[in-house]
């Protein structure tokens, strides 16, 4: 045994300050939260505290009677420590990681039995003086610290040590070792606790091995310090990873924790230092460097414990702020599903709840915004596609001049662009009573066209209804207004829309579109397809008017050509039949000359046409050679220009003749208006007529009403 430099009073002060620190830590752990882990950890600290307090009592005791209680407490806290430590370790680390429920209950029961076994036997020894374990202090005891062999000498000493010390220590060590092999299944907090507990078991074993070489008091104190430091670290890690009580406000909880920590430390320190001073004064000891150093160590230790516990209390209370900071970081990272675990009802918990609700609100708003963006994007794509399809249909409508071709192309394009099952176009008859199918895009529609499919306006299907009501109609086979489609030619139809073809507020037909989807048409589609229907109606009407205009123009051309032919015939009857050009000059042709045959090989006959009608010929003959095709083409062009020139000349002559006639009529009228005498008027009229038409004689007769009747009859 090594000598010691410290006096019994110094050891007593050290043991008691250590006990005070352990008691305060245990009290803080027990009050911090009401869980099994907290209870076991708190009782462990109190067991260490009781052991240190008893060691402090024993180290200065001088009588066997006064030393009996301390040695019993030291024995009981030492022998029952390993079962308690094993229970605490299993609880802190989560025994279910290694054991199932039945084994957990078995080990808990076994360790509990081993914990109470030495306590029970020792109480029996004290009550009945059986000396099974506790045999009492020897008669030669002269005070101070004493080893357990000096008072534990009963027949059950070894079995009890084996059952309550060595077996629990082995169970504890191998459980920790086994759990350390499965660190992947352990949380980071429990990994730290596991390492500390495993280190403590190894260190306790090492101290027990070295104890015989040390002063027994020193060895006991080192063991107590080691247990305090290691389990204080375990408690700190556990408490920082768990939640403290959140039933009251933070300020109240911090005030309570501060009082809980400082009150026992201040009161206990005062009592310890008071007792120390009293004994030093009683024994008349001088204060030396070692004594002063011990006092400083005690003060520093007390303050360290106080600061450590206060720091732990504040960190626990403010730990949720770190979670809130992580939540803010999650918010910045756009992780709106992040939620902070909420405990209790204090200010931080309230802030946590508000933050969670804000995150939920942002999450909901973000999802709503994403849905709206997706919807509007899809809607924009749909509208863009519809606009492109409408543009194609418009281009087709503007480029087609035949109604039948227009309708067939439109139904095919609508079905192709929008992916519809069937598209058909009905046109109304002249009486607006029957809608007749004119074009269809599906094979079933082709069958309907072949048999002349038609519907009565106002009484058959939504096509008839749309034609009568002049508004679009939609039919679906789902929903409250479900319609049963029964058309054998279009068996896959599940929804239909009919849109009237309106021109100047008059229905000229119906655009019928059918789909295999149950809800293919919505009210937003009506405007799109009605625009197509309106363009189709306008185009169909324009094409129809164009066709009618072409027919009218053709008829007018026929009439104009016939009029030109008759006019020219009348004109030619008054003119020469033609003209002959020779080197000797130009002279009119007689009928005999015109019809006289010429040699065909050297003659070229070119017709003179006007508005598609032949009004004459140009006949050319040469002596030397035949006419080439190029020359004949040139002659045809000349003949065309001749026809136009002749027509212009004819019109000019007619205009001149008409002007001359109007001038003559005007002159005659003026001469006649110069007098009011009947004879003079008649005489003037006859003279003007005779002069104008170069007549030899003019006769004017006046008749009575009776003679007029005879003439008329």
Q: Examine the domain organization and report whether 119 and 161 are in the same domain.
A: yes
Q: Examine the domain organization and report whether 533 and 590 are in the same domain.
A: no
> Cα torsion for 484, 487, 491, 495, to the nearest 10°?
-50
Helices (H), 60-100: 64-79, 81-93
The span from the CA of 170 to the CA of 161, in Å, is 12
589: left (phi over 0), alpha (psi -120 to 50) or beta: beta
On whether residue 129 sits in a domain, the answer given is: yes
Mean pLDDT, rounded, for 560-573: 64
Q: Examine the domain organization and report whether 183 and 39 are in the same domain.
A: yes
On whether residue 564 sits in a domain, the answer given is: no
On whether residue 570 sits in a domain, the answer given is: no
Tell me the pLDDT band of 2, cut-offs 50, 70 and 90: very low
Q: Examine the domain organization and report whether 535 and 679 are in the same domain.
A: no
Q: Examine the domain organization and report whether 26 and 118 are in the same domain.
A: yes
Residue 559 host element (H or E): helix 523-573
On whether residue 535 sits in a domain, the answer given is: yes
Helices (H), 136-245: 157-161, 167-180, 188-210, 216-241
On whether residue 318 sits in a domain, the answer given is: no
On whether residue 526 sits in a domain, the answer given is: yes
Closest C-alpha among 550, 608, 555, 547 to residue 579: 608
pLDDT beyond 90 at 46: yes
> How do residues 467-515 score in pLDDT, each as one tens digit?
888 888 888 764 444 555 678 888 888 888 898 988 888 888 899 998 8
Please return the burial class of 372, using the count of CB atoms within 10 Å of its CB with bins 0-12, 13-18 and 19+: exposed
At which of 505, 528, 547 does a domain end?
547
620 lies in which domain range? 575-670
Neighbours of 630 (CB within 10 A): 8
Q: How many domains does the chain have?
A: 4
**C-alpha distances in Å from residue 337, one per residue of 115, 360, 363, 366, 370:** 48, 7, 7, 11, 15
Mean pLDDT, rounded, for 42-68: 91
Q: Examine the domain organization and report whether 103 and 180 are in the same domain.
A: yes
Q: Examine the domain organization and report whether 38 and 52 are in the same domain.
A: yes
Mean pLDDT rounded to a whole number for the chain? 79
Q: Examine the domain organization and report whether 165 and 102 are in the same domain.
A: yes
Q: Examine the domain organization and report whether 664 and 679 are in the same domain.
A: no
pLDDT beyond 50 at 212: yes
On whether residue 262 sits in a domain, the answer given is: no
At which of 242, 272, 302 does a domain end?
242
Mean pLDDT, rounded, for 408-417: 86
CATH number, domain at 465? Answer: 3.30.450.40
pLDDT beyond 60 at 76: yes
> How do residues 258-282 score in pLDDT, each as one tens digit?
888 888 988 988 898 888 888 878 7
Q: Examine the domain organization and report whether 683 and 598 are in the same domain.
A: no
Neighbours of 188 (CB within 10 A): 9
Report percent pLDDT > 90 for the chain: 10
pLDDT beyond 80 at 5: no
Q: Examine the domain organization and report whether 161 and 62 are in the same domain.
A: yes
The span from the CA of 431 to the CA of 364, in Å, is 60
Are 511 and 519 contacting, i.e. CB atoms less than 8 angstroms apart?
no
CATH number, domain at 217? Answer: 1.20.1070.10
Report percent pLDDT > 70 for the chain: 80
pLDDT beyond 50 at 677: yes
The span from the CA of 639 to the CA of 606, in Å, is 7
CA angle 632/652/570 to nearest 5° reads: 75
Question: Lowest mean pLDDT: which of 8-12, 45-49, 188-192, 247-251?
Answer: 247-251
Residue 602: CA count within 13 A, CB half-sphere: 7
Q: What is the pLDDT of residue 551?
A: 81
On whether residue 425 sits in a domain, the answer given is: yes
Collect all residues with Cβ–Cβ distance below 8 Å to 159 and sequence separation of at least 6: none
Question: Lowest mean pLDDT: which of 167-181, 414-428, 545-559?
Answer: 545-559
Q: Examine the domain organization and report whether 653 and 703 are in the same domain.
A: no
More confident residue, 667 or 517: 517
């Amino acid at each position: 045994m090594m000598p010691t430099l410290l006096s019994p009073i110094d050891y007593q002060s050290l043991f008691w300050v250590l006990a005070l620190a352990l008691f305060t830590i245990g009290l803080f752990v027990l009050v911090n939260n009401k869980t099994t882990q907290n209870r076991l950890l708190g009782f462990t600290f109190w067991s260490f505290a009781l052991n240190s307090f008893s060691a402090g009592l024993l180290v200065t005791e001088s009588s066997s009677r006064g030393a009996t209680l301390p040695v019993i407490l030291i024995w009981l806290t030492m022998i029952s420590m390993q079962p308690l430590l094993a229970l605490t370790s299993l609880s802190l680390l989560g025994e279910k990681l290694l054991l199932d429920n039945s084994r957990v209950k078995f080990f808990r029961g076994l360790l509990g039995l081993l914990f109470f076994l030495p306590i029970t036997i020792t109480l029996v020894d004290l009550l009945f003086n059986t000396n099974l374990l506790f045999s009492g202090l020897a008669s030669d005891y002269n005070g101070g610290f004493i080893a357990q062999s000096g008072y534990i000498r009963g027949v059950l000493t070894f079995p009890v040590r084996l059952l309550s010390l060595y077996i629990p220590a082995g169970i504890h060590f191998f459980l920790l070792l086994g759990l350390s092999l499965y660190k992947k299944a352990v949380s980071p907090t429990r990994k730290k606790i596991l390492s500390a507990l495993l280190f403590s078991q190894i260190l306790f074993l090492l101290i027990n091995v070295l104890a015989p070489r040390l002063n027994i008091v020193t060895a006991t104190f080192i063991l107590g310090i080691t247990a305090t430091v290691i389990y204080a670290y375990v408690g700190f890690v556990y408490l920082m990873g768990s939640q403290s009580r959140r039933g009251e406000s933070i300020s109240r909880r911090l005030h309570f924790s501060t009082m809980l920590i400082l009150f026992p430390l201040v009161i206990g320190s005062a009592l310890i230092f008071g007792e120390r001073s009293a004994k030093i004064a009683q024994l008349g000891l001088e204060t030396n460097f070692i004594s002063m150093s011990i006092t400083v160590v005690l003060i520093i230790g007390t303050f360290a414990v106080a600061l450590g516990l206060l720091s732990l209390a504040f960190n626990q209370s403010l730990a949720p702020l770190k979670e809130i900071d992580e939540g803010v970081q999650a918010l910045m990272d756009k992780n709106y599903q992040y939620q902070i675990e909420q405990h209790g009802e204090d200010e931080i918990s309230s802030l946590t709840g508000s933050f969670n609700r804000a995150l939920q609100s942002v999450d909901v708003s973000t999802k709503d915004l994403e849905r709206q963006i997706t919807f509007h994007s899809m809607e924009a794509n749909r509208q863009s596609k519809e606009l492109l399809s409408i543009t194609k249909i418009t281009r087709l409508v503007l480029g087609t001049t035949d109604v039948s071709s227009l309708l067939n192309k439109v139904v095919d394009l609508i079905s192709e662009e929008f992916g519809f099952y069937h598209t058909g176009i009905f046109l109304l008859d002249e009486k607006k009573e029957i809608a007749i199918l004119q074009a269809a895009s599906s094979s079933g529609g082709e069958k309907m066209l072949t048999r002349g499919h038609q519907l009565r306006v106002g009484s058959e299907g939504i096509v008839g209804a749309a034609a009568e009501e002049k508004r679009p109609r939609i039919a679906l086979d789902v929903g409250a207004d479900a319609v049963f489609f029964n058309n054998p030619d279009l068996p896959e139809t599940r929804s239909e829309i009919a849109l009237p073809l309106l021109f100047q507020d008059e229905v000229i037909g119906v655009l019928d579109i059918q789909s295999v989807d149950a809800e293919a048409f919505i009210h937003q589609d009506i405007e799109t397809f009605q625009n197509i229907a309106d363009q189709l109606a306008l185009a169909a009407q324009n094409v129809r008017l164009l066709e009618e205009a072409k027919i009218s123009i053709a008829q007018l051309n026929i009439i104009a050509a016939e009029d030109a032919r008759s006019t020219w015939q009348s004109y030619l009857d008054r003119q020469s039949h033609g003209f002959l050009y020779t080197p000797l000059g130009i002279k009119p042709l007689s009928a005999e000359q015109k019809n006289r045959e010429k040699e065909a090989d050297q003659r070229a006959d070119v017709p003179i046409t006007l508005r598609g009608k032949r009004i004459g010929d140009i006949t050319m003959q040469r002596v030397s050679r035949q006419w080439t095709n190029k020359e004949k083409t040139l002659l045809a062009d000349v003949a065309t220009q001749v026809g136009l020139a002749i027509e212009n000349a004819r019109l000019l002559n007619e205009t001149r003749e008409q002007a001359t006639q109007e001038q003559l009529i005007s002159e005659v009228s003026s001469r006649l208006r110069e007098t009011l005498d009947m004879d003079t008027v008649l005489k003037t009229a006859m003279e003007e007529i005779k002069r104008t038409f170069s007549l030899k004689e003019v006769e004017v007769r006046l008749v009575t009403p009776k003679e007029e009747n005879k003439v008329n009859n």
